[in-house]
Amino acid sequence: MTDHGVVIAGGGPAGMMLAAELALAKVDVAVVERRRDHVLVGSRAGGFHSRTIEVLDQRGVADRFLAEGQVAQAAMFGTTVLDMSDFATRHPYSLGIWQNRIERIMAAWIAELPVRIYYGCEVTGFVQDDAGVDVERSNGEPLRAKYLVGCDGGRSLVRKAAGIEFPGWDPTRSNLIAVVELTEEPPPGIRHDASGVHALHRMEDGRTVRVVVTEQQLGPSSEPTLRDLSDALIAVYGTDFGIHNPTWISRFTDMTRQAAAYRAGRVLLAGDSAHVHYPAGGQGLSLGVQDAVNLGWKLAQVVNGTSPESLLNTYHDERHPVAAHALRHTMAQTALQRRDERMEALVDVVSELASMDEPRKRLAGIVSGLDIHYDFGEGHPLLGRRMPDLDLVNANGPARVFELLHQARPVLLNLGEPGGFDIAAWADRVQLIDSQYAGPWELPVFGAVNAPTAVLIRPDGYVAWVGDRAQLGLPEALTTWFGPPM
């Protein structure tokens, strides 16, 4: 039986991001992916939002995605665009880029890292014991790992086999999504009616068209056909525009569910395996990537023996509320997509409110992920929030905060008198960097904050301790997050 530190079931965006995080932290990681390679049939997600661009920037790979997509003000609530160009971030926008491109770029990145990928086979079950997990595969060759992470999508076998409940709301409506060719010119824009939202969008190749159409009745869970798509289009537009030659037809619904626990012993969940929702607002992929960035370093520290297993509980405690919040928002947005005259009136009222400054910032903070505030207790507003990407001056010259995080290692950033900190007992794990910063301190949504003398930054970019020369609570914070002193 082949041994690995961690086995990840599923090599979609969440699985690949987690694999990268674990590999950077020097964990022996393997991904088992059902597909034959990383190629994704169909376009699926249309991009991601600001905080996801930031977490990729924290690893030094954001430019690869920015180079292949289009930045735009695309954070939405209902039909209102939430302009976030005034947010204090280097990336005050969303990135439009199809998921098949995102996965191609991610696959190329993890190919540069020591990640083992077993393509073309499925995880079919597992048995866990006190020391590890035996992972069964469809090719009959089992794997052994200290931990198994299910990044195997909304129908997650790992979640089901772990006996983790998936409570939530059954679907009430379904959409067909497809990439096809047409004989007639598609109509411009997005159409809303009493059934929901519909749109046809010509792809960059100029030949194919991406179709999203709400079905008149909730569709079955079986695979949809070209005939189903034709019927759905005729019901809305009175014509099917001569659809033919489909390269992809799929169905998604507004089913909204969240795993009751993100961990069962040595088995964890991330991405769609932990939460599913209607794609309104386009947050699914971002949630999964950020789950992975939250989990990766914690799991690495536990596997590498520097932190106790209890650190893993903070993964559920931090990420479950974030997804629960996003799920409620997608349900609200889904309701706003159904249009009769009364709903039109409600949409108008909501749009007016969402365009006002305070609600705009609040909603944009949620959609972009820039408002995330993990509960680390009372203290400076930076505590539990993302560290801004400041332009610092270090001993070796200028540096950005995010550059210090490229290797996914924690940083104690001393902005006070050089040499004022001694963390020798954690020197094998935490980088101590003396630095200078003279500019403003501002957080998106929250606004200006007082300049701290020092900050302890976790590998996922969230601030774990804020302090001054008195260093009150620093050893405790270092122990909580990065394990006991050497």
Ligand X SMILES: Cc1cc2nc3c(=O)[nH]c(=O)nc-3n(C[C@H](O)[C@H](O)[C@H](O)COP(=O)(O)OP(=O)(O)OC[C@H]3O[C@@H](n4cnc5c(N)ncnc54)[C@H](O)[C@@H]3O)c2cc1C
Question: Which residues here bind ligand X, judged by CB under 6 A?
Answer: 9-15, 32-35, 44-48, 99, 122-123, 151-153, 157, 177, 252, 271-272, 279, 282-286, 288
- Provide, rounded to whole angstroms, the least separation between the CB of residue 251 and ligand X: 9
C-beta of residue 398 within 8 angstroms of C-beta of residue 392: yes
C-beta neighbour count of 401 within 10 angstroms: 21
Burial class (CB within 10 angstroms; exposed 0-12, middle 13-18, buried 19+) of 428: exposed
What is the CA 337 to chain-centroid distance, rounded?
24
- Provide, rounded to whole angstroms, the least separation between the CB of residue 209 and ligand X: 15
* Cβ closest to ligand X, residue 159 vs residue 429: 159
* Cβ closest to ligand X, residue 12 vs residue 365: 12
CA distances from 442 to 59, 137, 212, 381, 439 (A): 22, 49, 39, 10, 10
C-beta neighbour count of 189 within 10 angstroms: 9
- Provide, rounded to whole angstroms, the least separation between the CB of residue 86 and ligand X: 23
Which two three-digit tokens encode residue 460? Answer: 């996922």
Burial class (CB within 10 angstroms; exposed 0-12, middle 13-18, buried 19+) of 425: middle
- β-pairing, 174-181 vs 209-214, is antiparallel
* Cβ closest to ligand X, residue 176 vs residue 302: 176
* Cβ closest to ligand X, residue 78 vs residue 284: 284
C-beta of residue 429 within 8 angstroms of C-beta of residue 409: yes
- Provide, rounded to whole angstroms, the least separation between the CB of residue 423 and ligand X: 36
- Provide, rounded to whole angstroms, the least separation between the CB of residue 176 and ligand X: 10
* Cβ closest to ligand X, residue 151 vs residue 312: 151
* Cβ closest to ligand X, residue 17 vs residue 474: 17
Task: Write the secondary structure of 328-392 as one string of H (helix), E (strand) and C (coil).
Answer: HHHHHHHHHHCCCHHHHHHHHHHHHHHHCHHHHHHHHHHHHCCCCECCCCCCCCCECEECCCCEE
* Cβ closest to ligand X, residue 72 vs residue 448: 72
- 89-119: b or e for each residue (b if 16 or more CB lie within 10 Å)? bebbbbbebbbbebbebbbebbeeeebebbe
* Cβ closest to ligand X, residue 151 vs residue 401: 151
* Cβ closest to ligand X, residue 9 vs residue 457: 9
Residues near 163 by beta carbon (within 8 Å), at least 6 away in sequence:
264
- Provide, rounded to whole angstroms, the least separation between the CB of residue 15 and ligand X: 5
- Amino acid letter, residue 444: P
- Provide, rounded to whole angstroms, the least separation between the CB of residue 292 and ligand X: 8
Rounded distance, CA 120 to CA 35, Å? 5
- Amino acid letter, residue 213: V
- Provide, rounded to whole angstroms, the least separation between the CB of residue 481 and ligand X: 25
* Cβ closest to ligand X, residue 33 vs residue 318: 33
Q: What are phi and psi of 52, to 5 degrees?
A: -70, -40
- Provide, rounded to whole angstroms, the least separation between the CB of residue 88 and ligand X: 23
- Provide, rounded to whole angstroms, the least separation between the CB of residue 314 and ligand X: 20
